Chain A
Amino acid sequence: MKLQFIHGDALITLEAERTGDSWTVLLPDGSSHSLTVARTEEDVLHLTETKADSPLVHSWRVPFASAGDNLDFSYGGNTYRFQPYRTRASASKTPKSSSGILTAPMTGVVSEMLVAVGETVTAYQPLAVIEAMKVMSTLDAPFAGTVKAVHVKALQQVTHGAPVIEIVPAETAPSPKTETGDNP
């Protein structure tokens, strides 16, 4: 069977075929591996690789965990995150920037909310401060405009990527001048 994953921006394709008690796994570099796998109750994978031309076996253990869509692995002092690749649904649900939705740059607490709905803001004006473990991160207005929505209150916790503030650019705000004369 073909197994596809996303790691960072890369697509990783593995192939695994069952042969009796073991699996034959084909890696992206073209190498083929004969593998037996066991998984403990604590989500630790016990892997053993055997080679046809050698009596030696290579055994190693890899703790893993899943978090939402992600599969996390710990090995050799590093951690690795993979996401199962889906051909139909697109992976990201939120549109990228340019819109006026400001999201939390990290999981933390909103230590200060500096604006309210309806307020006019200038470009680069600090709008909110997110704090985690003594590290402060300020959300600045990407452009001049008006605060359309405030999704969190001061002292509330936010998770990485959650919408915090929405702003409407100054240009799209109703103004007496109409450049094109187009009316909806």
Chain B
Amino acid sequence: MKIKRLLIANRGEIAVRIIRACRESGIAPVAVFSEADREALHVGLADAAYCIGPAPAKASYLNIESLLKAAEASQADAIHPGYGFLSENADFAAACAQGGITFVGPPASVMRRLGDKIEAKRLMEQAGVPVVPGYSGDDQTDEVLLDRAKQIGMPLLIKASAGGGGRGMRVVTYEADIADSIEEARREAKAAFGDDRVLLERYIAKARHIEVQIFGDTHGSVNHLFERECSIQRRHQKIIEESPSPALTPELRKQITEAAVAVGKAAGYVNAGTVEFLLETPPDGPPRFYFLEVNTRLQVEHPVTELLTGLDLVRLQFQIAEGEPLPFTQEQCLASGHAMEVRIYAEDAAVGFQPSVGTLSQWIEPSGPGVRIDSGVARGSVVSPYYDPMLAKLIVRGADRAETLERLEQAILNFHVLGVQTNLAYLLAILRDPAFRAGDLSTRFLEQRFADWKPDAAIPNEVLLALAGAAVTAGSSSGKSSKQGVSVTGKSAIRSGTDNISELWRASDGWRNT
């Protein structure tokens, strides 16, 4: 059944991204917004927009009742959850289905099965997919857990079965701490998820994060769209993703993508999903991968796969949700070149990555061959303190990794953001790091190499000369000094910058004393 009108239960760049796919598919996009997002970019781009509540996400973007009301009011026949917020909430998927609305994603039953870590791990073991050695049994008594923990050995990882986002997770280094750590993990899991079951795993200290994009249809087919490496993370937050992974040989790629398809088939997977693996690369042996979990939604980093395969994953999601079979066989899926994404966050890397809130007084995106920007903001946008700090994603494709890095570096140099602090300089420093360039990555890369990173304090002459230029063109003299016929008149809310400078110029007698 064709989707006619689709409500996007999200905000920011992903809402903008989905609206674009709607337009291309002839679907009418409906936006929702919180009171803080009334002026947000995605609101103006949709055919209709509904206010779903006050600024805090709990009252708006996480408010199932409010979203369903907006869907009813707008006569939407489908809902796309985006990522984050309610995208992996099985109750939301179920509520949509009950209300006769197509949920663009896997069925609630699949989400529930894969959301439970113990059940998911058992399912994968049955399907012959390698999992991290450990214990994921139903017997949760102290004696059994303690006994199994000792068998697994140190270091040990304790995870909450219902967990996510690092909550209810503990690394144990000394055997004497096992009992206390299990108790802590249980308490945290109980408080956060209302479920105190835990599983035990061997802790893999140095690993790479490799994930495989899969797609399943309602006719039983599951295909993969190759891998993405997302090892560059800061506090479990991915910031750089790429494909192909520099760590995979063709043989290893074949194994890991086949394992991902096996995961999808075992779970009865439908629509877009991502199977995450840890890749352990011991210095004295062959690399080994282990199943980690399935993200039952579209990923932030899906454009990496789009640039590599030429497919539009959001439109593909629509087709699958409409009941169409996958439009390609596994053999027809081809990837070429290299793609890399960096996430641009509103945060101040110079002061502990503190969130940076404000109005974007400048927002200039780069362009060029192979350069794509998925952005949820524009010049003049207000970056509020209520939601995730990601402003945009810069995704670049090149013939190979070297060309991709060259293009990405130039794109960052030509990305200009003022009004909030961003991590652009930090990203640039990572891209220029010799180990990064060599592809020598691990999930602890940033912790090990960039823990004390600070932006370069030196001011280039180009900036000092620009400062002089801004001062001498401020106020009344500005029009005359303007060459090349560039006018300095014009009105817009954001342009007030120029006027402020001339006011400063007049007001401050101190800094102009010649």
Q: Which positions in A face B, CB cutoff 8 Å?
A: 1-5, 7-8, 12, 14-16, 18, 21, 23, 25, 27-29, 31, 33, 35-47, 49, 60, 62-69, 71-80, 82, 84-89, 105-109, 131-135, 137, 155, 157
**Interface residues in B177-230 (C-beta closer than 8 Å to A):** none
Task: Check if B124 is an interface residue, CB within 8 A of chain A.
Answer: no
- B493 interface hit (Cβ, 8 Å): no
In the bound assembly, the distance between CA atoms of A80 and B508 in angstroms comes to 21
Tell me how far the C-beta of B56 lies from the nearest C-beta in chain A, rounded to whole angstroms. Answer: 8
Q: Which residues of A contact B424 (CB under 8 A)?
A: 77-78
With contact pairs A23-B472, A64-B418, A86-B510 given, residues A41 and B489 touching in the complex (Cβ less than 8 Å): yes
For A31, the chain B residues whose CB sits under 8 A away are 461
B471 touches A16 (CB 8 A): yes
Produce 1/0 per residue, B458-492, CB < 8 A to A. 01111111111111110000100111101111100
Q: Which segment, of B20-28, B42-50, B320-328, B355-363, faces chain A?
A: B355-363
The residue in chain B whose Cβ has the minimal distance to the Cβ of A86 is B510
**Closest residue of chain A to B499, judged by CB?**
A66
Q: Is the CB of B413 within 8 A of A77?
A: yes
CA of A49 to CA of B56, assembled, Å: 50
Asked, given contacts A78-B456, A107-B385, whether A14 binds B490 with beta carbons under 8 Å apart, the answer is: no
Report the number of A-B residue pairs with Cβ-Cβ less than 8 Å. 222
Which of chain A's residues has its CB closest to B364's CB? A63
Complex Cα spacing A62 to B419, Å: 15
Q: Considering the chains assembled together, what is the distance between the CA atoms of A130 and B473 in angstroms? A: 40
Roughly how many angstroms separate A33 CA and B514 CA in the complex, as a whole number? 19
The 7 A-B pairs of least Cβ separation, nearest first, read A65-B361, A132-B385, A87-B510, A37-B469, A62-B466, A86-B510, A74-B416
Q: Which positions in B face A, CB cutoff 8 Å?
A: 55-56, 346-347, 354-358, 361-362, 364, 385-389, 412-413, 415-419, 421-422, 424-425, 427-428, 455-457, 459-473, 478, 481-484, 486-490, 494-495, 497-498, 500-501, 504, 508-514
Minimum CB distance partner of A60 in chain B: B462
Q: How far apart are B356's CB and chain A's nearest CB, in angstroms? A: 8
B466 — which chain A residues lie within 8 A by C-beta? 45, 47, 62, 64, 73, 75
Q: Could you tell me the distance between the alpha carbons of A27 and B466 in the complex, rounded to whole angstroms? A: 11
**A85 contacts which of B358, B421, B459, B511 (Cβ < 8 Å)?**
B511
Find the B residue at minimum CB distance from A39.
B473
Asked if residues A38 and B470 are in contact (CB atoms below 8 Å), the reply is: no
Q: A33-B461, A109-B386, A133-B388 are in contact. Are A43 and B497 (CB under 8 A)?
A: yes
* A47–B469 CB distance below 8 A: yes
Closest Cβ–Cβ distance, residue B512 to chain A (whole Å): 6
Cα A35 to Cα B463 with chains together (Å)? 13
Q: What would be 13 A-B contacts, judged by CB atoms less than 8 Å apart? A: A12-B464, A21-B481, A27-B465, A41-B488, A47-B469, A63-B362, A76-B460, A78-B456, A84-B508, A84-B511, A87-B511, A106-B354, A107-B358
